[in-house]
Structure 1
Amino acid sequence: MPLLENKIIAIENVWLSYTDKNILEDINLDIYQGDFLLITGPNGGGKTSLLRTILRLQSPTKGRISFFRQGEPVSSLDMGYLPQKNSIDSRFPITVEEVVASGLMGNTQKGNTKFDSKKEIDEMLDLMGITALRNKPIGVLSGGQLQRSLFGRALISKPEMLILDEPASYIDRQFGNRMFEILRDLSSNGTTIMMVSHEIEPFITLSNRNLYINHILGDR
């Protein structure tokens, strides 16, 4: 049984409603350091809304979400986020390198210098296999190339928790294998991972908790 001091997120009686429609209904979930949560469910069932609520990109209608570090309440956690590709405006004038680098914004606790940041950006571009695209605007990228860029942005700050919304969309099998290896290594080193995916293979072999959400949350 997980130790209470290892709990990093407590979701308590969370509801999310738009007008007269409930998107999330009485969600209760404790997340522990090192968890790999794999979440499935139908379209419109509230998967993305749950992630966005945890990230505080939207506020619950009722209930609360609390964060902890080493058993003590904290105001926030260092989270990396890969959103769904269709939530990105490809017309925005930003390059691949700038997308990846934006994952370091606000990450002051690690105290990186400009040299450190440049090195980290170079290494992440290489890991994602997109070094040759670094100066390309995102509007000319394929779906898979954009997904790699967003994955690199989520990873670059070495977050304590990684939140991924359909990360395997648009990517080819070769990079899918690399993504699996990256997530396996992160998980084995204690990174907490929360993933929404319609494609549960091969990620189900990495997860220790498999959940299903269709407005209400349950075990898969």
Structure 2
Amino acid sequence: MAGYKEHISVSGMLGIGYGTIASLLLGFTPAQGILAGVLTWIGGMLPDLDSETGRPVRELFGLTAAIASFVAMRSMVRIGADPDAALLAAAITYAAVRYGASALMAKFAVHRGMFHSLPALIIAGEAVFLAYTSESYAVKFLMAGGVCLGFFSHLVLDEVYSVERKGAKIRLKKSAGTAIKWFGKGLFGNAVAYAILFTLTYITLVESGILIPPQQVAPTENSKPIQQASPFEFMRR
């Protein structure tokens, strides 16, 4: 599999290209382009959150916790919370991700499990879409797309490095097929991943206006209440 340096190098170059295209060709501001590029770079490291303990993993959890705390602070300020409450929310979020999430990950996650999968990629993109506060859906999709691009580069790179060539012979390592996949080996991991995926997908569709919950559909002026026929109506005819 690819190493930590390879992943951050590839996702970093992709982030530069993604942010540049967003700023120069797609009409986003330079700040939005740079932020999207940074998220692309971070997305290229996210699948390794389930790796064994080590300095790269600690740094990755620290970086993820810092970003999550800033997002929490921004969300609190957006809803009108006072500065002290926003700082408290940021501190709690940082501690929860940096220490709580890392402890749970070390205990339950399996390296190259469902964190290295296409459902995890979609979950990461949807989480960024929902967490990023902006009045523009285009900006939210830009940030989510950056994370997905970086995440996908990690999966592709792992699959590329699972092919070993010795002279004219090509051999697949045991890790082949364990990155770009829809299902893992464990039933529990699959169930948790797809439960999160379906939940976030529903919330994302509602948030983006693509899906309207039935209780929010307002009746039109000319519409009449629908009267459900009695199951015994046919006996009266």
Q: TM-score, normalised by structure 1?
A: 0.36
**Higher relative contact order (Cα pairs below 8 Å, separated by 6+ residues):** 1
Q: TM-score, normalised by structure 2?
A: 0.34
> If each structure's strand is expressed as a fraction of its own residues, which one has the higher value?
1
> If each structure's helix is expressed as a fraction of its own residues, which one has the higher value?
2
Indicate the structure (1 or 2) with the bigger Cα radius of gyration. Answer: 2
